[in-house]
Structure 1
Amino acid sequence: MSLKSSSPEVAIIGGGPAGLIAAEVLGRAGLSVTVYDRMPSVGRKLLMAGRGGLNLTHSEEFGRFVARYAEARPQLEPLIEAFPPAALRAWSEGLGQETFVGSSGRVFPKAFKASPLLRAWLSRLEGLGVRFALRHRWQGWDEDGRLVFTDAAGETVRITPAATLLALGGASWPRLGADGSWISALARHGIPVSPFRPANMGFTCPWSDLMRNRFAGEPLKRIALTFAGTRVRGEAVITADGIEGGAVYALSARLRDAIERDGNAALQIDLRPDLAHGVLLKRLESSRKGQSASTFLRKAAGLSPVGIALLREASPALPTEPEALARFIKAVPLRLTGAKSLERAISSAGGVPFSELDEHLMLRRLPGVFVAGEMLDWEAPTGGYLLQAAFATGIAAARGMLSFLRIPHDALTSNPSSATRHP
């Protein structure tokens, strides 16, 4: 494999968004960049995320945006400020993928899917001279400090780059490439890793046979969920063993923590958040005229069959007094007993603590080794926050690598969308 003899060679381990955007920044700065990945292709989780529409970022006000990162906000805010949502949209549009803002404020490419963006991106990286070493599983470092890989043929490959970026992802959806196996390599150098936990996942609850067999897969549309004083509007889906969906994911960190602490969590579901209590009450005070309870709830309260089933699940004997029934519809209790596993979670919490890194995302105990993306210990809800932070940390780490290699920053513009587009 020939390398540019006039520039440093750097290694990026992990071909997800954080690793690929870092490769773009470093390639544009003139470095010889090789991206290593254990899978036969890169961007697999990005493609999975784009199956239902690639949610790149969010259009909300910056202060509200960075507040979504909770405890990690102090560390992530300056990185996202350096590459904010507007810059991510400009970068996408520089690849020929125009974006739009959906009704929820989420930002998507007009093509909606991830594949057109990924194809254009890989073409750009190829034009920048970025190389890919696929089917290379990273094993850590040898006694001489060299990176060690096992290639597709089972052979050992050792390299000594001028700088290294670790962007191997967290531990969710391991079949897509990120399995957390890198923890042992860091542990051998005394670097602690916060245990991985599922994030943006569904939850289990003790459904009856009727609920499980008849309503699994049914959506709960235009609902509101409340837990521990936080209310979220959106949608959810009944599963055979519980509940999942966007509104659930928005509360998943709090719900997970409560279940870990108390063994269960009491979620409340407002089946008609668009109706004020008084309006709903007035409708429920109308005469039933011999209608069955299900027919009455469908006509008077506008409930779907799955919504009615959820009411009966919570209380087989429904309140008959209109005031009590209205309160019940607006706050259906649901006891959650467990969180879905990492293998079924959209993302993961845990990873390398920021305390182990300097301001450039370089490991304090391993000079020249940087970390980005979901390997870092942060979490965020769905809605574009996950990808935004992955891109921002990848760019920050790449800039840190340039500083470490003493490459002037004037070789790097503030917005990677200005890179030359290659066919």
Structure 2
Amino acid sequence: MTERVDALVIGAGPAGLMAAEMLMGQGRRVVVAEAMPTPARKFLMAGKSGLNLTKSEPDAAFWNRVTGALPRTPGYLDNGEAFGPDQVMAWAEGLGVPMFTGSSGRVFPVGMKASPLLRAWMVRLRAGGVELRTRWRWVDLEGGFGFATPDGHVTVNADATVLALGGASWPRLGSDAAWVPMLAGAGVPIAPFRPANMGFHVAWTDAMARIMGSAVKGVAIHAGDAVSRGEWVITRQGIEGGGVYEVASALRDGAEGRVDLAPDLDATALAARFARPRGKLSLGNWLRRILGDPVKVALLLEWGQPLPADAAGWAARAKALPLRHDGPMGLDRAISSAGGIMREAVDETLQMRALPGVFVAGEMLDWEAPTGGYLLTACLDSGRRAGLAAARALTGT
């Protein structure tokens, strides 16, 4: 079976749905094909503990955290204006979902969850004529876009197409990179995928068993030029959580990690604390009085060997504790992925050079950003840009 539509979007995650929203404004027939039974499964999973939609900070600082294949040629679209934090907040509130900004600048729905926003978004899209087809898996590029569907093989030809199938992380939620052979076969250059926003394996000693699952708070991780003050968690596999994800790309690429257990004290002030007499206290209790947190003490004893001999040495070790790990966790546990369609494969409108009329958005592109609002906002921004460019291609403008 073969059919023709005005606009086709493949992938119903945030980037794909944003592209569909832009396309529907042209009054054309928009079909969204999604391999999974329901849309935006990774979006919903990421929002289970609180949907961090964006980060409220100046645009320049925000977009400096996004690296890779997201072209920003001034004037090519909307005078080069990105769909940044302010625009994302206004868009969400336009869906009837009030937002609030936390003390860290991270922006969440008042209700915290992702599902109300997704429901409101889908209502808007359906009201605009967007047709969502679930369990439609893209399988070939023969004579159009071929899909395996519940009703058999269907080929769809479209005047404009946006691909937003995700990268290679959390494959059980749909981002399995099954599209790579098809695009590579069409001459699209693709960089190998690597985990991003991931944890790191650590071979803990038995002494750490008592704090497994504990949150690490009030520390700073330094990795190259990257610094994180966020919380993270000690797990049986290693270290995970937002504070680690912020510096994960630097650690993955070889930067030495150091943990500052007392980032609000300088070395001199901390050394003065370590100079206090230990008396009859055990080593653990003495360190706990100084650092105020048994988790920090456990990390100092775990990663701080051999232990220092004097107050200055203790302070220096606590201010720059080696972060000892055994490499990043794999793509199946990563929040996102680096790698994908290379920058040179797309023009300034995110149209693929090898496939005219086909635009690409989201994690299919070789870029990365940390969690904390950067990753999700950049996906929405790229979907908007690709959708607007596809809409203009339909009208010939």
Asked if 1 retains the 8 angstrom alpha-carbon contact of 2:170 and 2:176, the reply is yes
Check conservation: 1:12, 1:35, Cα contact below 8 A: yes
**Moved segments of 4+, more than 6 Å:** 76-80
- One-letter amino acid of the counterpart of residue 190, structure 1: G
Q: 2:211 aligns with which of 204, 212, 215?
A: 215
Number of the residue aligned with 1:232: 228
Which residue, 282, 288, 295 being the options, matches 2:285?
295
* 1:277 CA drift (Å): 2.1
- Pairwise CA distance, 1:225: 0.8
The CA deviation at 1:214 is 2.5
The aligned runs of 1:78-227 (5 Å cut-off) are 81-142=81-142, 145-153=143-151, 155-211=152-208, 213-227=209-223
Q: 1:76 to 1:233 in 2, by over 3 A?
A: farther
Q: Distance in 1 between matches of 2:217 and 2:74?
A: 33
Does the Cα contact within 8 Å between 2:73 and 2:348 map onto a contact in 1? no
Deviation at 1:334, TM superposition (A): 2.3
- Any conservation in 2 of the 1:66–1:73 contact (CA below 8 Å)? no
Shift of 1:13: 0.4
1:397 Cα deviation from its structure 2 partner: 0.9
- Return the offset for 1:125: 0.8
- 1:77: Cα distance to partner? 8.2
CA-to-aligned-CA distance 1:270-297 (integer Å, 9 cap, x gap): 1111222222222222222311111111
- Secondary structure of the corresponding residue to residue 96 of structure 2: coil
Q: Give, as a single letter, the amino acid of the residue that structure 1 aligns with 2:326.
A: T
- Output the TM-score relative to the length of structure 1: 0.88
Q: Give the equivalent residue in structure 1 for 2:50.
A: 53
Q: Note closer, same or farther for the CA distance 1:172–1:77 as it changes in structure 2 (3 Å cut).
A: farther
2:81 counterpart SS class: helix
1:281 corresponds to = 271
Superimposed CA distance per residue, residues 251-307 of structure 1 (whole angstroms, 9 cap, x where no aligned partner)? 11111111xxxxxx64211111122222222222222231111111111331x2222
Note if contact 1:169-1:375 (Cα within 8 Å) is conserved in structure 2: yes
Q: Which moved more, 1:125-134 or 1:397-406?
A: 397-406
Note closer, same or farther for the CA distance 1:378–1:71 as it changes in structure 2 (3 Å cut): closer
CA contact (8 A) 1:284 1:301 kept: no
Q: Does structure 2 conserve the Cα–Cα contact (< 8 Å) formed by 1:18 and 1:393?
A: yes
CA distance in 2, matches of 1:376, 1:161: 22
CA offset digits 1:234-262 (Å, max 9, x no partner): 2221121321222211111111111xxxx
In structure 2, give the amino acid aligned to 1:171.
A
The TM-score normalised by the length of structure 2 is 0.94
Distance 1:13 1:229 in 2: 37
Q: Which of 330, 335, 343 is the aligned partner of 1:346?
A: 335
Do the aligned residues in 1 keep the contact of 2:226 with 2:250 (CA within 8 Å)? no
1:420 counterpart residue number: none
- Aligned length, in residue pairs: 393
Tell me the equivalent position of 1:308.
Answer: 297
**What do you get for the CA RMSD once the two structures are aligned?**
2.1
User: Identity percentage over the alignment?
Assistant: 49
Q: Give unmatched runs, 5+ long, in structure 2.
A: none
- Counterpart in the other structure of 2:308: 319
Contact 1:54 1:113 in 2 (8 A): yes
2:10 — aligned with what?
13
Paired amino acid for 2:23: L
